[in-house]
């Protein structure tokens, strides 16, 4: 599908909102030529629907009937963001009252720290990062508050829920789980990445560098700017490889607030130590190339020596805009993952560990008709793959 006009509109909108060199607003004639259904599909995948709606409002595009879904979602998302922020602050207070170390993570944190308008950043859920030794107690508090484990084969009994949570916490390959109550979803993290990815970030430092300060309607431990930067890089660049444009919007919004305050020579050296240099520089390359983002001199100097290994594949994926949980997109995702690593990355070891992880039963997935012993690694993996394809086709 040729969606160049829609992608150009998205690029223009992001640039006019976050770049140091704002673009000219989209001419009315170009808006009339947009495929609104395709634009909405792209905006949905990239999680930037409120941001585009803000631009459409400036263009008075409410007169185009096909743009109405954007405005409907904008109202919904504004109310949802407010509800998620209120719930996030409430739960942080609960954890603090019970002396459970916790940090806000991703969406609500990013909006609070560096977004100029709180309703243009699309939120789906609330993320918290816990220390591994305290996550079990935090989950019990959430259960007492009415939250329950999010599963695909529910409803399940309380005993079954607790058994599945214990299996997830004991599994070396798991690092997060989701809990739901009413319209709220909490993503509980006790790590930020698969253990077999090469990144060497010390998460304990995140908690040590946090300080108590106001966070919306509460006071809690909030990460400092350097920690927020590494949180952003780990997820957006090290896990999802800048495949959603929201990732780059977050990076530009962060740089607009904190870019001039940070020691970039030291941070780039730290990125090499963390095995995240390629992830960091790819993000900076993309915001500089596509959105003319203003970057510190040390970053510009590093970009002169940096050749991004995956920029073309990432750019093509933006237009492709299909979630990598599906089989074919997953192959594209994994190719980008394996080629967007720092020097010394062992691809064959990564693939073995990935297959091992995906061959194990998923405690929150659909119950398998056949359980294959874990020692039959590849048989289990092929069975799970075929089961997935069967469900997708039939």
C-alpha angle with apex 126: 12 to 356, nearest 5 degrees?
95
Please name the residue that has the structure tokens 């508090």.
141
Full-model pTM: 0.90
> Per DSSP, which regions of the chain are E strands?
102-105, 126-130, 148-149, 176-181, 184-189, 211-215, 218-222
Tell me whether strands 126-130 and 148-149 are parallel, antiparallel or unpaired. Answer: unpaired
Nearest alpha carbon to residue 235 among 248, 224, 222: 248
Rounded mean pLDDT of the chain? 88
Torsion of CA 79, 129, 251, 49, to 10 degrees: -30
Q: How far apart are CA 242 and CA 227, in angstroms?
A: 19
- For residue range 150-201, list pLDDT tens digits in order: 987 778 889 998 999 999 998 887 899 999 999 999 999 999 888 889 999 9
Structure confidence at residue 378 (pLDDT): 57
- For residue range 54-71, list pLDDT tens digits in order: 888 876 655 666 888 998
Q: What's the pLDDT band for 380 if we cut at 50, 70, 90? A: low
Q: 171: which residues sit within 8 A by CB, 6+ positions away?
A: 360, 363
Nearest alpha carbon to residue 50 among 104, 105, 107, 1: 107
Please name the residue that has the structure tokens 């508050």.
145
Q: 117: which residues sit within 8 A by CB, 6+ positions away?
A: 54
Domains of the chain by range and CATH?
4-75 (no CATH), 99-312 (3.30.460), 318-393 (no CATH)
More confident residue, 204 or 392: 204
């Amino acid at each position: 599908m040729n969606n160049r006009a829609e992608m150009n509109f998205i690029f223009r909108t992001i640039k006019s909102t976050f770049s140091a060199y704002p673009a000219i607003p989209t001419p009315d004639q170009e808006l009339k030529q947009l495929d609104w259904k395709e634009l909405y599909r792209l905006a949905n995948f990239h999680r930037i629907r409120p941001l585009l709606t803000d631009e459409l409002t400036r263009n008075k595009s409410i007169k185009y009937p096909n743009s109405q879904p954007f405005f409907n979602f904008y109202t919904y998302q504004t109310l949802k963001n407010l509800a998620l922020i209120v719930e996030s602050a409430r739960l942080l207070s609960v954890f603090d009252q019970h002396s459970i170390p916790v940090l806000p993570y991703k969406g609500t944190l990013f909006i609070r720290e560096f977004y100029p308008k709180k309703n243009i950043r699309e939120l789906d859920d609330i993320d918290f990062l816990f220390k591994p030794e305290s996550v079990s107690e935090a989950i019990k508090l959430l259960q007492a508050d009415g939250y329950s484990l999010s599963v695909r084969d529910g409803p399940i009994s309380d005993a079954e829920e607790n058994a599945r949570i214990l299996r997830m916490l004991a599994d070396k390959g798991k690092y997060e789980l989701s809990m739901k109550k009413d319209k709220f979803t909490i993503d509980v993290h006790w790590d930020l990445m698969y253990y077999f990815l090469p990144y060497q970030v010390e998460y304990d430092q995140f908690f040590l560098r946090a300080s108590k300060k106001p966070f919306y309607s509460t006071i809690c431990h909030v990460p400092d700017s350097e920690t927020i930067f590494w949180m952003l890089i780990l997820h957006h660049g090290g896990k999802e490889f800048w495949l959603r444009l929201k990732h780059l919007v977050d990076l530009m919004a962060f740089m607009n607030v904190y870019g001039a305050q940070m020691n970039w020579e030291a941070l780039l050296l730290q990125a090499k130590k963390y095995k995240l240099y390629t992830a960091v520089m790819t993000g900076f390359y993309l915001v500089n190339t596509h959105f003319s983002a203003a970057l510190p001199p040390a970053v510009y100097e590093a970009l002169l020596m940096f050749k991004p290994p995956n920029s073309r594949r990432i750019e093509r994926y933006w237009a492709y805009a299909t979630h990598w949980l599906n089989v074919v997109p997953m192959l594209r995702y994994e190719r980008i993952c394996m080629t967007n690593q720092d020097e010394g990355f062992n691809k064959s070891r990564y693939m073995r560990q990935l297959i091992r992880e995906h061959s194990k039963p998923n405690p929150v997935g659909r119950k398998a008709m056949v359980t294959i012993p874990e020692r039959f690694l590849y048989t289990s993996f092929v069975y799970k793959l075929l089961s997935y394809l069967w469900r997708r086709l039939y």
